[in-house]
Amino acid sequence: MPRMSGDASDEPVEIPITGELDLHTFRPDEAGDLLDHYLTECQRRDLLSVRVIHGKGTGTLRALVHARLRRSPLVAGFAQGNEHSGGWGATLVTLKPRNS
């Protein structure tokens, strides 16, 4: 499981690998590396559909997430969430299968 700091004490936090990553509790400077590690672990576990919750806010975190997804060799594609999956506060990611 990825371990990233995210609380006020800067102690490592274990993130369960469920196919859904909520970035609300993490600082923007942590989000990129956390996203990369999380997607790697999802792919390793054959969880190829991932929902990343970045919130609506100013759109800064969404832009960071989308930039990382565009550069990731693990990502087959991604799209903004729909009305049932978080709207523009979430991004739905499709990962490539391992060894592809």
100: in domain? no
Q: What is the pLDDT of residues 48-87, one digit of tens each?
A: 999 999 988 888 899 999 999 999 999 999 998 877 777 7
Does the residue 86 lie in any domain? yes
* Structural domain of 91: 3-95
Query: Is residue 55 situated within a structural domain?
Result: yes
Residue 46 in tokens: 């054959």
Q: What is the CATH number of the domain that holds 71?
A: 3.30.1370.110
In a domain, 57, yes or no: yes
How many separate domains does the chain show? 1
Which class for 71: exposed (0-12), middle (13-18), buried (19 or more C-beta within 10 A)? exposed
> Does 32 map to a domain?
yes
Is residue 87, in this structure, part of any structural domain at all? yes
Give the pLDDT of residue 12.
66
pTM higher than 0.85: no
Calculate the average pLDDT of the chain: 86
The DSSP 8-state label assigned to residue 19 in this structure reads S
In a domain, 90, yes or no: yes
**Is the model's pLDDT at 11 over the cut of 80?**
no
Rg, the chain, Cα only: 13
Q: Does residue 39 contact residue 74 with C-beta atoms inside 8 Å?
A: yes
